[in-house]
């Protein structure tokens, strides 16, 4: 066997492996559409997306996922509100302020949080946070928006923190030195030079953290309470889209309307996460030219 022939074979083999994941993704998407689209023969896209009533097992059933969409967005929004300051500030601390000894502990601990199985977090929300919320605020249930948002925030923090930290770390040392040499303090340098230079990476981190929160299933299934109604208060229960799919798929008869409606909900979710990823991609490319002096 000649050397070039070997090279060719190796190249082909790697190409095949690379194709596998792309192919699988394509097949999943095709399957998702095949199983989801038939629902639009029964309800219009408008009714499906903006209908206020999700009663898939009633007779006649109604397939309006608006309460589920609202549920998803509201927990994602509040989770982001909690996770962004915590994630970004801890990234700034770890990358710019922490002495090496603390850095070496804090960084892996935060990354470990990402490795925590979501069912464990959900369990914690159910058994610890929910009773506490119920007692403290005198609520009918502790499984609600607040609980779900806090748990989702815990899941999003490691994503936001580690991607932000990479972005901060890759700010050229020259910028920091220039700032210090002009008589800036550490906090001025962080605030005026380092964070602005890393802003595109930090934005990407935030959006990927949000994508993680909106797609997360187990936590919201366990702690969001599961009420398919548009919430009126922060202590109301909601039923985000992934929770609805996971909870009902086992009950829905194969290729029934309910089954198709759940797949269509999956399509909506797919487009949402796709949109988040595209925005993240766009932001990270748009500000990419921020580099050190080019000659």
Partner 1 sequence: MEDKVIIRTKNVNFFYGGFKALTDISMDFQSRHVTALIGPSGCGKSTLLRLLNRMNDLIDGTRVEGQVLFEGVDIYDPKVDPVDIRRRIGMVFQKPNPFPKSIFNNITYGPKLAGMTRRSDLEELTEWSLKQAVLWDEVKDILGQSAMMLSGGQQQRLCIARALAMKPDVLLMDEPTSALDPISTAKIEELIQDLKKQYTIIIVTHNMQQAARVSDKTGFFYLGKLIEYDETETIFTRPHVRQTEDYITGRFG
Footprint on this chain of partner 1 (rule: CB under 8 A): 100, 172, 174-185, 188, 192-193, 196-197, 289-295
Least Å distance, CB 181 to partner 1, is 4
Residue 63 phi/psi, 5-degree rounding, is -115, 65
For 133, residues 6+ apart whose C-beta sits below 8 A from its C-beta are 139, 142, 144, 146, 147, 235
Nearer to partner 1 by C-beta: 47 or 166? 166
CA 194 to each of CA 93, 103, 152, 153: distance values in angstroms, whole numbers, following the listed order: 12, 18, 28, 25
Nearer to partner 1 by C-beta: 20 or 181? 181
Least Å distance, CB 173 to partner 1, is 9
Say how far apart CA 24 and CA 200 lie, in whole Å.
31
Residue 238 pairs with which residues in a beta bridge?
225
Residue 139 phi/psi, 5-degree rounding, is -105, 160
Nearer to partner 1 by C-beta: 175 or 282? 175
Nearer to partner 1 by C-beta: 135 or 188? 188
Say how far apart CA 215 and CA 95 lie, in whole Å.
28
Return the structure tokens found at 243: 């929770």
Least Å distance, CB 283 to partner 1, is 15
CB-count exposure of residue 264 (10 Å: 0-12, 13-18, 19+): buried
CA atoms within 13 A on the CB side of 59: 0
Least Å distance, CB 288 to partner 1, is 11
Give the torsion sign (CA, 70, 272, 276, 113): positive
Least Å distance, CB 107 to partner 1, is 16
Residue 54 pairs with which residues in a beta bridge?
63
Least Å distance, CB 102 to partner 1, is 13
Nearer to partner 1 by C-beta: 96 or 216? 96
Nearer to partner 1 by C-beta: 80 or 179? 179
Least Å distance, CB 261 to partner 1, is 49
Taking the CA atoms of the chain, what radius of gyration do you get in angstroms? 23
Nearer to partner 1 by C-beta: 96 or 236? 96
């Amino acid at each position: 066997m000649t050397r070039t022939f070997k090279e060719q074979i190796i190249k082909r083999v790697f190409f095949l492996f690379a194709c596998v994941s792309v192919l699988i993704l394509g097949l999943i998407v095709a399957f998702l559409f095949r199983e989801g689209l038939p629902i639009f023969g029964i309800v219009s896209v408008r009714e499906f997306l903006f209908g206020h009533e999700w009663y898939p097992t009633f007779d006649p059933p109604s397939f309006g996922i608006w309460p589920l969409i609202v549920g998803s967005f509201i927990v994602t929004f509040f989770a982001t509100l909690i996770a962004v300051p915590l994630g970004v500030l801890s990234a700034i601390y770890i990358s710019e302020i922490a002495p090496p000894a603390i850095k070496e502990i804090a960084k892996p601990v935060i990354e470990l949080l990402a490795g925590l199985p979501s069912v464990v977090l959900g369990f914690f929300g159910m058994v610890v946070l929910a009773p506490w919320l119920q007692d403290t605020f005198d609520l009918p249930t502790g499984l609600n928006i607040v609980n779900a948002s806090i748990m989702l925030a815990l899941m999003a923090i490691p994503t936001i923190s580690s991607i932000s930290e990479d972005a901060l770390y890759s700010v050229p040392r020259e910028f920091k030195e220039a700032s210090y040499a002009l008589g800036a303090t550490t906090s001025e340098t962080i605030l005026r030079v380092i964070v602005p230079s890393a802003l595109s990476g930090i934005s990407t981190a935030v959006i990927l953290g949000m994508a993680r929160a909106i797609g997360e299933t187990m936590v919201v299934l366990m702690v969001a309470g599961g009420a398919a109604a548009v919430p009126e208060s922060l202590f109301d229960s909601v039923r985000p889209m992934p929770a609805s799919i996971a909870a009902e798929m086992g009950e829905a008869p194969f290729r029934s309307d309910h089954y198709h409606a759940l797949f269509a909900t999956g399509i909506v979710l797919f487009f949402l996460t796709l949109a988040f990823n595209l925005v993240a991609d766009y932001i990270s490319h748009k500000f990419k030219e921020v580099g050190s002096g080019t000659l």
